[in-house]
Structure 1
Amino acid sequence: MRAWLVWTVKELKQHIGEAYNLNSSCMRVVMKEKEYWSDTSVSDISDVGGTLNEILDMRGHNTLLLYVSSDPKDYQKEFNDSWTYKCIEFHFNWILMDIRIPPGPEATPTTTTTRKGRITMKIISMEEENKGKERKIQVQVDKRITLAQLKKELVPLIGIPPTGFRVYRVNGYKLKNLDEILMNLSESKLIVRLGRALQVGEHRIKLYLLQVNSIEFCEFMMESIFTEDTSVREFKKQIIEEAKVQGIDCVLKLDKMRLRKKNRVSPGRVYLHDKMIDTSKEIYVEPLKGPEKEKDKGQIEVYVIRWHPSQCSVDPTEEIILDIYNRMHVINKLSELSGVPAEYISYSEGISFPVGISCLDIENKLKWYSITSYTYSFGLHDDGCVIYYKDNREKMKELTDKERLEIQEAEEARSVNLMFHHVHVQSVNDYLYFSVYSGIIL
């Protein structure tokens, strides 16, 4: 509504009462003061004398924002104890935040009181996301508290001390200043990640679960901390314990797992037990069906996929360990694995994992070598390459149009799932206007 600067507060209350059918005798008029670095102040001007213009001049304002309530019982209370004050204080000093946190203790909507007896955070909702690997909570938070105080409030939800986790913006930027108050943050969405601050000589590394026969073969596990003098064997033990603590759904055993370099999404060199962990930012954790077979740095681990031309299909990915870079050695290894006599084994050149060739193209677009070939080229330069092999006595199946279409549709669906998994980021003249809020402000 429009108010004239020459009005007194009493006259203003009368006009508001007439305009909104409110009782002016128990009306409380509250004025917003200037904001300070960590607080917003309000004053009850219900009984202040003088005109609105004089009130503005006295407080150095050129505009006037007022909050109004009319309740006989609430009017009898001291202003700082009144429901009006609590509603306005909530309106000014509380923000709604979305925070992603790791799995942890169960929680229900509740409140905590740690700041001079006042409520500082209230849980509005909580739901599991990403197959239970994280939780999204929506909370109302007093924006005058610091980041350190917010971390303290999150402890019951995460289950570890504040030193055991860090807070990030959604763009991945870590919030380092624990004394910064929340009202100075430019966004209301945060991410909590487990892991303490680094000490001298320590490095943080991201661990990814490698499951070569799964569409989601590259899956983030957790972050961990190691020192440069940590052996691969000791780091494996550390990973097993940390995975248990964090509730990661994966069976890891010391003699049935390997650590290996992560080259973007491709698995690289296998880290042997007696070596030290290097300062890579990311590594793969690969569960194995049996004990680790690669024992020496001169060996090469190769993924192998058996191709069945007569069925136009492939078997699940397996592996062989090469002791020497020799054609007959590879053929003999494939023969041992498959039971196919060596003279009937044909194999392809090494390609990078993950492979993207269609079953419709394997037979004709790959170059095949056998025991009788004059030349051969494996393309096996490091751990993690892939070769196809087959029993060359099998004849290629003659596909019908329907069968060809079914294969194409199945492979396209898998390709979409794979893509989805990895692509896994704003006073004038002599009168003024002001807003009138009546009733409860939330």
Structure 2
Amino acid sequence: MAPYSSCLSVAAANRTNRIAAFAPPTPPGLTVHVDKRMTLAAFKRHLEPVVGVSSSQFKVFRVYANNQEFESVRLNETLSSFSDDNRVTIRLGRALRKGEYRVKVYQLLLKEPEPCKFLLDTVFAKGMSVRQSKEELLPQLQQQCALHLNIDRFRLRKKTWKNPGTIFLDTQTYEDDIPIFSNWEVFLELLEAPERMVCMSQLAVLARRWKPSTLVLEPFEEVVLESNSVDELKEKLGKLGQISPEDVEFAKGRGTFPCDISVLEIHQDLDWNPKVTTLNVWPLYICDDGAVVFYRNRDEAIQELSDEQRSELQKKESMRLQRTGGQQVPYSPRKEKALKIYVDGGVTRE
């Protein structure tokens, strides 16, 4: 039988599972019965004649209620956890070996409206160094994504939802230095200059300058710190913006990366210039790479807007934040109301 991708619908009895295998596009194509004590390895061997390739050349994914898929890789585990109406998807491709993990690689695009772009699936293994994983990624990126990269001009870093986190050093190894698990996700980030992160004691934050006089948020720039000192952060932000460190005010971004916020709200809505000396304490809690900070010149006055200008800008900001998923704060024009003043004797003045 020619190889194909099959969708398996699983119904479990006490010890026997009735499995209907559907060969697209016309289900059902096959119905089999399996013992719930059967291991995943035995289950895959029974499917070999159906799929048309050896068990090492196809993958088994369990499908959950929200349609999220997770690859089943523990060959010694039984099918006892399967329940009625479980589904399984079979896909062609090399199955994972012991100590290997499937990894989804996304590109981090700091200057794009959508900063998270899926690139490819790959395999990392326990004991593999970050440098080795980058070397293995190069030909895959070239073939599948048409990306021709220099190994020293991109980095890998932790990905938590859409938030960029810890930057991985080339010398670190998976499992020993970097926890790795099934269905892991990482960011790949292109570098415009040689890597500045060379040790784990450094801290990289993502900074955007806010210019209140023009109501402009400038693009992200990375700031690499040697400590968690607020003074060092202000000094380096001052160099970026050509501002005296004493005149630098900063605030931590809120929400999910890129922590976007309306230009009509940023000046007064964030907690500017917190009274702390280190970054790893309340209200900042900046302890890992990838935190977003906004900064401004404290002597720069905010632009005054007419009601008409404010209303028009509010419309533009609402549309922009809808596209980026940023923080939106409803705006309603100010209305004048009569002020009543009560004085002794019950007299009321308006």
TM-score range, shorter chain: 0.5 to 0.7
Higher RCO structure, 1 or 2 (CA under 8 Å, sep 6+)? 1
Map of 1:335 onto structure 2? 238
Q: Could you tell me which amino acid in structure 1 is paired with residue 297 of structure 2? A: D
Output the TM-score relative to the length of structure 2. 0.64
Q: In the alignment, is residue 301 of structure 1 matched against residue 204 of structure 2?
A: yes
Output the TM-score relative to the length of structure 1. 0.52
**TM-aligned CA distance change 1:279 to 1:173, over 3 Å:** closer
Q: In the alignment, is residue 229 of structure 1 matched against residue 124 of structure 2?
A: no
- Does the residue aligned with 1:368 lie in a helix, a strand or coil? coil
* Alignment equivalent of 1:245, drawn from 143, 165, 170: 143
Q: Can you list the C-alpha shifts for 1:136-189, whole angstroms capped at 9, x where unaligned?
A: xx8679946997578669xxxxxxx99666475665366999xxxxxxxx9999
Rg (Cα) greater in structure: 1
Q: Could you tell me which amino acid in structure 1 is paired with residue 95 of structure 2? A: A
Deviation at 1:254, TM superposition (A): 1.4
**TM-aligned CA distance change 1:364 to 1:142, over 3 Å:** closer
* Alignment equivalent of 1:387, drawn from 282, 288, 293: 293
Count of aligned pairs between the two proteins: 268
Q: CA RMSD in A?
A: 3.7
Map of 1:264 onto structure 2? 161
Q: Can you list the C-alpha shifts for 1:409-438, whole angstroms capped at 9, x where unaligned?
A: 333333333459xxxxxxxxxxxxxxxxxx
Q: In the alignment, is residue 275 of structure 1 matched against residue 172 of structure 2?
A: yes
Q: 2:309, 2:147 → 1: CA distance?
A: 37
Map of 1:361 onto structure 2? 265
* Alignment equivalent of 1:218, drawn from 104, 116, 119: 116
Deviation at 1:329, TM superposition (A): 1.1
Equivalent runs, 1:17-416 vs 2, <5 Å: 143=29, 166=59, 172=69, 195-246=93-144, 248-250=145-147, 252-277=149-174, 278-280=179-181, 281-349=184-252, 351=254, 353-369=257-273, 375-376=276-277, 378=279, 379=284, 380-416=286-322
Between structures 1 and 2, the one with greater helix share = 1
Deviation at 1:306, TM superposition (A): 0.4
Map of 2:38 onto structure 1? none
Q: Can you list the C-alpha shifts for 1:378-428, whole angstroms capped at 9, x where unaligned?
A: 4221111111111223210012334333433333333333459xxxxxxxx
- Does the residue aligned with 1:404 lie in a helix, a strand or coil? helix
Deviation at 1:299, TM superposition (A): 0.4
Whether the aligned pair in 1 keeps the contact of 2:229 and 2:278 (CA below 8 Å) is: no
Q: 1:407, 1:165 → 2: CA distance?
A: 54
Q: Could you tell me which amino acid in structure 2 is paired with residue 325 of structure 1? A: N
Deviation at 1:240, TM superposition (A): 1.9
* Greater CA drift, 330-339 or 297-306: 330-339
Whether the aligned pair in 2 keeps the contact of 1:261 and 1:269 (CA below 8 Å) is: yes
**TM-aligned CA distance change 1:166 to 1:413, over 3 Å:** farther
**TM-aligned CA distance change 1:151 to 1:290, over 3 Å:** farther
**TM-aligned CA distance change 1:399 to 1:195, over 3 Å:** farther
For structure 2, the 5+ residue unaligned runs are: 8-22, 32-45, 76-84, 327-350
Whether the aligned pair in 2 keeps the contact of 1:206 and 1:224 (CA below 8 Å) is: yes
**Taking every aligned residue pair, what percent have the same amino acid on both sides?**
28
**TM-aligned CA distance change 1:294 to 1:339, over 3 Å:** same
**TM-aligned CA distance change 1:197 to 1:349, over 3 Å:** same
Q: 2:246, 2:217 → 1: CA distance?
A: 21
Q: Can you list the C-alpha shifts for 1:74-106, whole angstroms capped at 9, x where unaligned?
A: xxxxxxxxxxxxxxxxxxxxxxx999xxxxxxx
For structure 1, the 5+ residue unaligned runs are: 1-96, 100-120, 122-137, 154-160, 178-185, 421-442
